Amino acid sequence: MVVDLGYGAWPVTTVELHERLRRVRPDVRVAGLEIDPARVEAARPWASTDRAFLRGGFEVPVPAGWGDPVLIRAFNVLRQYPEAEVPDAWARLAGRLAPGGVLVEGTCDEIGRRASWVTLDAAGPRTLTLSVRLASLARPGDVADRLPKVLIQRNVPGEPVHDWLAALDRAWAVAAPLSAHGVRQRWLATVAAVRAAGWPVLGGPARWRLGEVTVPWGAVAPRAPGRVGEGPG
């Protein structure tokens, strides 16, 4: 089963997530969680035998008999919490996963133009992914205001995530002549350039073409207080 934590005023994200997952797993069950009982009640018309809406938060309640979630998606949930509370929230959520399950925690804008997320398992954070709508992209660094809570205040000189965004912006500027062939070609060249410069970019063009770029968590993890330095590249 899959959990959509904090779906908001309307259950659009839960319904869309369920419909997309059913294309590859017709037997998938999806539960949407909200702490506001009025939002849960408003979502009832969209409930079914394999889609549920429950009141809940980091304790992650699930319908009886559904088992533990193999995926928890939590977008725009931790944004309202202090940064210091993120590790405990991650641990609580990851503790509810089925063996081998993953937590995807991040932030996106209202219409999906810019997003970023940390993928975690029971052992902790594994990767950071940036995702942008290429047609409206001015520069990669614009995703900075949609970084996950644990990173958004770390986008300052001396922090790895700042170095990462700066490297993307530099490569994007160098690739400007490729705009004549379309923004996708410019983006592909940008990602290839930062990887060639030493950044441990994961995956390949199949994902990059979608406007995504992923790096290991260790490449962008916050530094200890008072510690400065530069990332690769």
Whether the pLDDT of residue 233 is over 60: the answer is: no
Check if the beta carbon of residue 4 is closer than 8 Å to that of residue 32.
yes
What band does 226 get if pLDDT is binned at 50, 70 and 90? very low
Bin 120: left if φ > 0, else alpha if -120 < ψ < 50, else beta. Answer: beta
Residue 174 has pLDDT above 90, yes or no: yes
> Does domain 2-153+200-219 fall into CATH 3.40.50?
yes
Number of Cβ within 10 Å of residue 189's Cβ equals 18
pLDDT confidence tier of residue 130, bands split at 50, 70 and 90:
very high
| Spatial contact of 67 and 3, defined as CB atoms under 8 Å apart | no
Give CA separation, 203 vs 150, 166, 194, in Å.
23, 21, 13
Domain extent listing, the chain: 2-153+200-219
Residue 181 has pLDDT above 90, yes or no: yes
What's the pLDDT tens digit per position in 136-171?
999 999 999 999 999 999 999 999 999 999 999 999
pLDDT bin (cut points 50, 70, 90) of residue 231 is very low
| pTM reported for the whole predicted model | 0.93
Least confident of 49-53, 54-58, 111-115, 169-173: 111-115
Average pLDDT across the chain, whole number:
94
> Checking DSSP bridges between strand 124-132 and strand 114-121, what pairing results, if any?
antiparallel
Residue 224: its pLDDT value, please? 67
Q: What is the mean pLDDT of residues 180-185?
A: 96
Distance, CA of 88 to CA of 77 (rounded, Å): 14
Q: Where are the alpha helices (DSSP H) in 65-129?
A: 86-94
Determine the average pLDDT of the residues in 71-90.
95
Residue 56 has pLDDT above 50, yes or no: yes
